[in-house]
Amino acid sequence: MIVLENLRKDYGGKAALDGVSLAVRRGELFAYLGPNGAGKSTTIRILTGLTRLSGGRATVGGADIETAPLAAKRHCGVVMQHVNVDSDLTLWENLDIHGRLFGMSRADRTRRSEELLAYVGLDARADDLVGTLSGGMKRRLMIARALMHRPRVLFLDEPTVGLDAEIRRRIWGLIKTIQSEGTTVFLTTHYIEEAEFLADRVAFLDGGRLRALDTPQALIARVGAWALDHATEGGMTTEYFHDHEVAQRAALGCTDGLTLRRANLEDAFLSLTSKAVQA
């Protein structure tokens, strides 16, 4: 559904993306992780037609983003990290305007708006101004708007940033439901547990280059099943073990300031890139 071939983007002679190649399968939930400045948002901006590429090739739904940009855009729904719904309009009006931009008929806009507002649990607020909504409600409205024209690919750029844990998990459920209905989801996030829980596959991006790509479980297995954290005056160091008994024996020989736990996706990222996924 999404194909990148040696994708490049340069800003002032510096490569924001340096030859990234990957393919996202139809119906897959694909997480794209990396520290600030890794090139995540740049990739989404290129794929959704907001930024021109400097080199390479990319397609969305089989449409080339350079030679058939309108066809590619019709496949895309986009939820950016910053809230960009119109606070001076009602929820219904925000969806209706989006439908008009995509050439939807009045009857189809009405049916789709009713369907989507119910889908994201906001049907009772249809005639309220967006400015009266909470942050979590605005995020749900943004997802509804992105789905208005029935895109085949949904791009989510930090969709839960700034939300509390309860609201984040509610949106996780919504994202999984969207995927289960056949939509391909391309997700960027700084919440590492979000990617570990949601994604079928994960790509690690660092310095504009693809460092690793696999399932969350396979990436964690590269590091080891168990992590032994040592807290010292100089900071934190971590040892990784594939065998629990070996990890326990190592722990017995240590003093205070030690934690034995299961390894996670953040451990895999740190091990493979030597950088943290952080906001």
- How far is the C-alpha of 278 from the C-alpha of 275, rounded, in Å? 9
Amino acid at 275: K
Quick: pLDDT tens for 53-68.
Answer: 999 999 999 999 999 9
Please state, in angstroms and rounded to a whole number, the distance separating the CA atoms of residues 147 and 106.
16
Cα 91–143–31 angle (5° rounding)? 165
**Residues above pLDDT 70, as percent of the chain:** 96
Q: What is the DSSP letter of 124?
A: G
> Is residue 67 within 8 Å of residue 234, measured between CB atoms?
no
From-to residues of CATH 3.40.50.300 in the chain: 2-215
3-state DSSP percent of the chain in helix, strand and coil, to 5 = 40, 30, 35
Question: Which pLDDT score is estimated for 255?
Answer: 64
Q: Which of 174, 185, 177 is nearest to 141 (CA)?
A: 174
CATH of domain 2-215: 3.40.50.300
Residue-level pLDDT at 132: 96
Please give the Cα distance from 123 to 101 (Å, whole number). 22
Where b means 16+ CB within 10 Å and e means fewer, 252-265 reads eeeeeeeebeebbb
| Cβ count near 176 (within 10 Å) | 14
* Residue ranges, the chain, pLDDT below 70: 253-256, 274-279
Short-list 263, 38, 60, 56, CA closest to 158: 38
